[in-house]
Amino acid sequence: MQSGLIHAYLLDGHGRGRRLSWPEVQGWEPGQGRLWVHLDYSDPEAQAWIRGAAQLDTLVADALLTEETRPRSTGIDNGLLIALRGVNLNPESQPEDMVSIRLWAEEYRVISTRKRQLLSVNDLCQQLESGRGPRSCSALVVALADLLVWRMSDTVDTFEDTIDELEDRVVAGASGSLRLDLAMLRKQTITLRRYLSPQREALARLMVEKLAWIADEDRLQLREVSDRLLRHIEDIDAVRERAAVTQEELMSRMSEQLNSRMYVLSIIAAIFLPLGFLTGLLGVNVGGIPGSENPWAFLIFSVLLVITVVIQLVVFRRKKWL
């Protein structure tokens, strides 16, 4: 990467792109072909180029360089200001920690910025280098949106596999770290859905933009991408609801187990309460205790305690407490 430039391609209109250096980007003119510039917005030289030599509106430049942004699509004059997000598939990262990419698209130029790596961008670069890439700027935007949504499929499938496993563990009666795992899954799905819903709205807005350089076939492909994203959102909602139901089932089982243990303790306390009263009463160290001089008194008292326990058990059984 040089001077904040991650890569730049000059599209040949037939699906192939030629890599450009930073000086070639600076000297580019629309007559040379359609240009895609991908920058690291945290680099000072990239920031200076966006605010100066790129000849962008101040609003557009600020949007391309902002730290935080939500998915959106806005038409400005004859261009499109777009913010999209993709799942974070970088090593040692969480998928729900989504990576944002900002784009300014015109008929002959696309400028995109990011801070963290997006594998979908690398996929698009490979397509351009192999001659299977987009042929226009509008097709490039659609292809990038398509790859972002396509990369989400594995993450959504992982969520579904995870909830299947957790449901099986609940049915099998294994608890362990179930509560923590369910809470983590719900957090991930909620966070992911928070960005996917406005992303679908951004794609829907793209489809209705009245710009002559957006081809009809690109609008149709955008519709397909939007429908696929909607299916991902529905799958995530289903996973979230299943996680909530599974957590309720887990809490219900834990409550039943606790009630069962408390019931056993209550029965034991009920049995030993009269026994404790009788032994405590006869155990006071004062004169006049009956049977204190009788050698058979302890045996008789023990037999009476056993009879008391038997009577209690019979009463509990008749009342269906046991």
* C-beta of residue 69 within 8 angstroms of C-beta of residue 112: no
156 and 223, same domain (yes or no): yes
Contacting residues for 121 by C-beta, under 8 A, at least 6 apart? 6, 38, 101, 112, 114, 144, 147
For each of the chain's 322 residues, which pLDDT tens digit applies?
456 899 999 999 899 999 999 899 988 998 899 999 999 998 999 999 999 988 899 999 999 998 878 899 999 988 999 999 988 776 666 766 788 999 999 999 999 999 888 889 999 999 999 999 999 999 999 999 999 999 888 889 989 999 998 888 887 776 667 888 888 888 888 888 888 888 989 998 888 888 889 999 999 999 999 999 999 999 999 999 999 888 888 888 888 888 888 888 888 888 888 888 888 877 776 666 776 677 787 788 888 888 888 888 888 888 887 7
Count structural domains, the chain: 2
**Residue 159 corresponds to which amino acid?**
F
- In the listed set 231, 253, 275, which residue is the last one of a domain according to the structure? 253
Contacting residues for 69 by C-beta, under 8 A, at least 6 apart? 63, 83, 100, 102
* C-beta of residue 196 within 8 angstroms of C-beta of residue 236: yes
CA distances from 140 to 27, 209, 224, 225, 316 (A): 22, 16, 15, 13, 78
141 and 205, same domain (yes or no): yes
280 and 232, same domain (yes or no): no
Contacting residues for 53 by C-beta, under 8 A, at least 6 apart? 26
Of residues 69, 49, 63, the one with CA closest to residue 2 = 49
91 and 237, same domain (yes or no): yes
33 and 171, same domain (yes or no): yes
pLDDT of residue 271: 86
155 and 301, same domain (yes or no): no
Q: Exposure string (b/e) for 59-97, b if CB count within 10 Å is 16 or more?
A: ebbebbbeeeeebbbeeeeebbbbbbbbbbbeeeeebbe
228 and 275, same domain (yes or no): no
98 and 134, same domain (yes or no): yes
CATH of the domain at 44: 3.30.460.20
Task: State the CB neighbour count (10 A cutoff) for residue 245.
Answer: 13
DSSP designation for 32: G
pLDDT of residue 79: 92
pLDDT of residue 188: 87
Residues of the domain holding 265: 259-285+292-318
Could you give the CA distance from residue 40 to residue 235 in angstroms, rounded to a whole number? 33
